[in-house]
């Protein structure tokens, strides 16, 4: 006789526990990852509202944050006003945001390729036809959403501050 035959039989799971586990798996929707990106310099209510609306589209919101060097290339040597370390902390502290990733490139395409979010969201002023991320999204089946936004801009805030100085 071998040792296997002397082992007590493991109890079989009850049909009810199997059914409950299957029901939990079916009832739990698959996570939906939403991605957006930006400079988020001088974080303001327009940013908060935009991030809230992005998060409402899924179960997880990842924000790609332009580094200081990429902002300088895009907006000029006077920008950013707030350093990337501080901007990253501010955006990460927003209750709607689950992760913040810095990216050095002029577009977040490499970051999106690595993360492969389900939904990519851009704000006002963009169109899917003019964003390289849209073509990338098509390659793996992600959805691209363009949201309108509040008429608040960091550049506009800076302009008003300088005009009143």
Query: How many domains, the chain?
Result: 1
Instruction: Report yes or no on 78 lying in a domain.
Output: yes
Instruction: Report yes or no on 25 lying in a domain.
Output: no
CB 48 within 8 A of CB 56: no
CATH of the domain at 126: 3.40.50.620
Q: Which domain holds residue 62?
A: 30-163
pTM across the whole model: 0.80
Question: CA triplet 99, 104, 105: central angle to 5 degrees?
Answer: 110
Instruction: Report yes or no on 37 lying in a domain.
Output: yes
Instruction: Report yes or no on 143 lying in a domain.
Output: yes
Instruction: Report yes or no on 110 lying in a domain.
Output: yes
What is the structure's pLDDT at 130?
Answer: 82
Give the span between the Cα atoms of 115 and 113, in whole angstroms: 6
Instruction: Report yes or no on 158 lying in a domain.
Output: yes
User: Does a cis peptide bond (omega within 30 degrees of 0) precede residue 74?
Assistant: no
Instruction: Report yes or no on 21 lying in a domain.
Output: no
Instruction: Report yes or no on 55 lying in a domain.
Output: yes
Walk along the chain (165 residues) and give the pLDDT tens digit of each residue: 555 456 555 566 666 666 667 666 666 778 999 999 999 999 999 999 999 999 999 999 999 999 999 999 999 999 999 999 999 999 999 999 999 999 999 999 999 999 999 999 998 888 888 888 899 999 999 999 999 877 788 888 888 988 987
User: Does a cis peptide bond (omega within 30 degrees of 0) precede residue 80?
Assistant: yes
């Amino acid at each position: 006789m071998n040792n296997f035959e002397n082992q007590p039989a493991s109890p079989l799971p009850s049909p009810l526990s199997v059914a409950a586990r299957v029901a939990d798996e079916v009832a739990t929707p698959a996570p939906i990852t939403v991605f957006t990106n930006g400079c988020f310099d001088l974080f303001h209510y327009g940013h908060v509202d935009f991030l809230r609306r992005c998060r409402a589209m899924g179960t997880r919101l990842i924000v790609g944050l332009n580094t200081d060097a990429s902002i300088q290339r895009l907006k000029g040597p006077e920008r950013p006003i707030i350093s990337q370390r501080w901007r990253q902390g501010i955006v990460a502290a927003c209750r709607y945001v689950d992760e913040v990733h810095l990216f050095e490139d002029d577009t977040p395409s490499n970051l999106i390729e690595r993360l492969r979010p389900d939904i990519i969201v851009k704000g006002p002023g963009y169109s899917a036809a003019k964003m390289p991320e849209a073509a990338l999204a098509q390659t793996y089946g992600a959805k691209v959403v363009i949201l309108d936004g509040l008429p608040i801009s960091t550049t506009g805030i800076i302009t008003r501050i300088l005009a009143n100085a």
